[in-house]
Amino acid sequence: MILAIETSCDETCAAVATSDGRLLSSIVASQVADHAAFGGVVPEIASRRHLDLVGAVVAEAIAVAGIAEASIARVAVTAGPGLIGALLVGVSFAKGYAYARGLPLIAIDHLHGHVASLTLAEEPPAGAHLVLLASGGHTLLIDVAADGTCTTIARSMDDAAGEAFDKGARLLGLGYPGGPALAELATHGSTARRSFTTPLAGRDDLAFSFSGLKTALSLAVQRLAAGDEQGRADLAAAYQEAIVDHLVERASLGLRQTGRSTLGLAGGVAANGCLRARLETVPARLVLAPLDVCGDNAAMIAMAALNRQALDRGSFLRLDAYARSPLG
């Protein structure tokens, strides 16, 4: 059995899986309510809440899995990227847990976790594939070789897709987290009445960019007449469509340039219904991360740990948290 712990941002998560990859439990304690009043994640509040919650969340993951705690043979933990204070809570807890029980510890990169969330799909990718990872902090095209080696072939020049959703939501006067709120408002709008230019349209460089779109939305919101609710919904629909168009175009370009025939979609923005539907039109076998593992969770950390080398007791005490991923 493997116990996985994830505390990189504002969700305290623990999961239990068998050593052959059967998920037995996945607990996500969201801190959204603690941060909502501030319009975004407050790092110090996140760290303190992780500290309050991590022990109980791990105990719940073990209880829900219905296993004897003694059957846990390995511990996996997200070591980065993310908020350092938040990560250190999970890393320190995992070190203490593993050390006290004489267990090996596996350090997992959060982005490898998002890629591994695809193994929880009904029909996971088999062999080499391309992954569109769109989350709150990253927008990447990751080429995954048949042996699982990950290579980033495209990244954002400025904001991440999730950040674009969150900043767009703020401009439209919506709450935090912004992605789901903007997507909901967009369902009441029409792209026939409003549109934004797709970023980097017609260019064949593998990169993403969202900051120009955000500026365009900001200008459009300023021009909106007070009380024009339909206009606001139309802007949300047009803004979402431009983000989705851009993601779909770059993913298609990535498939053409790499010759891969399978595309995976992972990360928080992978929960977006419009993006999920539009990617169905891409000429590739599409693997969508299940909705419950798009956002942060420890199930994906357990999956990422399955075939990974563990640190022994001697070396894992030196394990440190890090803010930037080599894949990022």
Interaction residues for ligand ATP, span 241-270 (CB under 6 A): 267-269
From candidates 6, 296, 298, 304, binder to Mg ion by CB under 5 A = 296
Answer yes or no whether residue 177 interacts with ligand ATP by CB under 6 A. yes
**Alpha-carbon gap, residue 69 to 32, rounded angstroms:** 30
Three-point CA angle 25, 43, 52, nearest 5°: 50
Residues 6+ apart with CB under 8 A from 227: none
Which structure tokens are listed for 302?
């357990």
Residues 6+ apart with CB under 8 A from 111: 81, 133, 138, 140, 142, 150, 325, 327, 328
Q: Which is nearer to Mg ion, 135 or 139 (CB)?
A: 135
Closest distance between Mg ion and the C-beta of residue 175, in Å? 20
Answer yes or no whether residue 180 interacts with ligand ATP by CB under 6 A. yes
Q: Which is nearer to ligand ATP, 90 or 98 (CB)?
A: 90
**Alpha-carbon gap, residue 235 to 109, rounded angstroms:** 36
Answer yes or no whether residue 178 interacts with ligand ATP by CB under 6 A. yes
Q: Up-side HSE of residue 278: CA atoms within 13 Å toward CB?
A: 19
Q: Which is nearer to Mg ion, 178 or 189 (CB)?
A: 178
Across-strand partners of 210?
none
Closest distance between Mg ion and the C-beta of residue 251, in Å? 18
Binder of residue 199, out of Mg ion, ligand ATP, none (CB less than 5 to 8 A by kind): none
**Alpha-carbon gap, residue 105 to 58, rounded angstroms:** 15
Residue 156 gets which letter from DSSP?
B
Answer yes or no whether residue 109 interacts with ligand ATP by CB under 6 A. no
Closest distance between Mg ion and the C-beta of residue 296, in Å? 5
The single residue listed with the structure tokens 């022994």 is: 312
Question: What region, left, alpha or beta, does residue 146 occupy, with left being phi > 0 and alpha being psi -120 to 50 degrees?
Answer: alpha
Binder of residue 196, out of ligand ATP, Mg ion, none (CB less than 5 to 8 A by kind): none
Answer yes or no whether residue 295 interacts with ligand ATP by CB under 6 A. yes
Identify how many contiguous H helices and E strands the chain contains and give both numbers: 11, 10
From candidates 1, 2, 4, 9, binder to ligand ATP by CB under 6 A = 9
Window 111-140: contact mask with Mg ion (x via CB under 5 A):
------------------------x-----
Closest distance between Mg ion and the C-beta of residue 140, in Å? 12
Residue 10 gets which letter from DSSP?
S
**Alpha-carbon gap, residue 211 to 3, rounded angstroms:** 39
Window 113-132: contact mask with ligand ATP (x via CB under 6 A):
-x------------------
| Helices 161-171 & 229-258 angle (0-180, nearest 10) | 170
Answer yes or no whether residue 35 interacts with ligand ATP by CB under 6 A. no
Closest distance between ligand ATP and the C-beta of residue 268, in Å? 2
Interface with Mg ion by CB under 5 A: which residues? 135, 296
Interface with ligand ATP by CB under 6 A: which residues? 9, 81-82, 110, 114, 135-138, 162, 165-166, 177-180, 183, 267-269, 271-272, 295-296
